Amino acid sequence: MKGRLLVVDDEPAMRRTLRDLLRLEGYEVRTAQDGQEALHILAEEKFDLMILDLRMPGLSGTEVLRQLSTMGVDVGVIVLTGHGSMESAIEALRQRAYDYLLKPISPEALLESVARGVVRVRRERRQRALYEQLERMLTQMLQIEEMGQGKGKSDFVPTVVELPNGVVLDLGRRRLRYQGRDIHLAPSESRLLQVLLMHRGEVMSHQALVDAVHGYQVNEWEAPEIMRPIVSRLRRKLADLPKGRQWIVNVRGVGYMLDWEMVMGEEQARGEADETPESP
């Protein structure tokens, strides 16, 4: 199945046309005739995308968008309206609509937007799941350390995280795996990677990293000299991974940070978004 879609439009002919077009492309499609029915369906079922008209009797499409955020519904939205305006477009995008399309629209343009939207929504869901899995792994490791059990066999945490680019993080065993090959990390290298993951996207100062990796404090001029060889060794090991040389960013005169987009393979993911999902 290419994706589950909800079509919301008060015009019966438009609902049928969109439903039939999308079903022919392999999508599973439900329809709703107004905003209230759409919210009821969304509360009960999960969809990848909703194609939403703005001007409808009763609950407008704009109000549906506002209520979605309070309901916590995970669905991508494509606005398809015959009454477009700059104000409604800005409001739709502010409410995190994926696309804003005007009627009439060619079947090709609509299908292209839907295909991109489904890819984007599913990619974001995978990323959120990975974030949550990574947080659980790091939390477990932190709890072990705080309990004073961070030595020997108790270092093992049976949680691994597989990234979209095929890299498997297994910091409990202090190793990375890619294409069947294990890359073993020294304790200081594993700890450095763990700390950078915990603070991904943040610049960690040399002094803070020395404290986190080695457990002692040093002055400002000593810290870079201590961290430089550890970072260098870790980078050499990461070089065998996709974009691995770019995972750790040197912020000159300050410290280091982890480029999470490189770790997650965001460039590859953006490329996937340019491809139309294939039929099963």
Within a 10 A sphere around the Cβ of 57, how many other Cβ atoms? 10
- Spatial distance between the Cα atoms of 60 and 148, rounded to a whole number of angstroms: 57
| Secondary structure of residue 184 in the 3-state scheme | strand
The fold adopted by the segment(s) 130-267 is Arc Repressor Mutant, subunit A (1.10.10)
Residue range(s) in the chain whose domain bears CATH number 1.10.10.10: 130-267
The pLDDT of residue 197:
86
The pLDDT of residue 235:
95
The pLDDT of residue 159:
57
Residue range(s) in the chain whose domain bears CATH number 3.40.50.2300: 4-105
The pLDDT of residue 158 is above 50: no
Question: What is residue 154's DSSP assignment?
Answer: G
**Residue 268 CB contacts under 8 Å (≥ 6 apart), including other chains:** 164, 165, 242
- Spatial distance between the Cα atoms of 9 and 18, rounded to a whole number of angstroms: 10
Q: Between β-strands 204-205 and 175-178, what pairing exists: parallel, antiparallel or unpaired?
A: unpaired
The pLDDT of residue 145:
57
**Which range, of 6-20, 182-196, 233-247, 258-272, averages the lowest pLDDT?**
258-272
Of 190, 197, 225, which is closest to residue 210 (Cα–Cα)? 225
- Spatial distance between the Cα atoms of 54 and 10, rounded to a whole number of angstroms: 10
Single pTM value for the model: 0.60
Q: What is the pLDDT of residues 44-89, one digit of tens each?
A: 999 999 999 999 988 989 999 999 978 888 999 999 998 888 888 9
The pLDDT of residue 153 is above 50: no
The pLDDT of residue 108:
97
CATH numeric code, 4-105: 3.40.50.2300
Q: Report CA-CA distances (Å) from 265 to 51, 163, 176, 241, 251.
A: 29, 8, 15, 10, 21
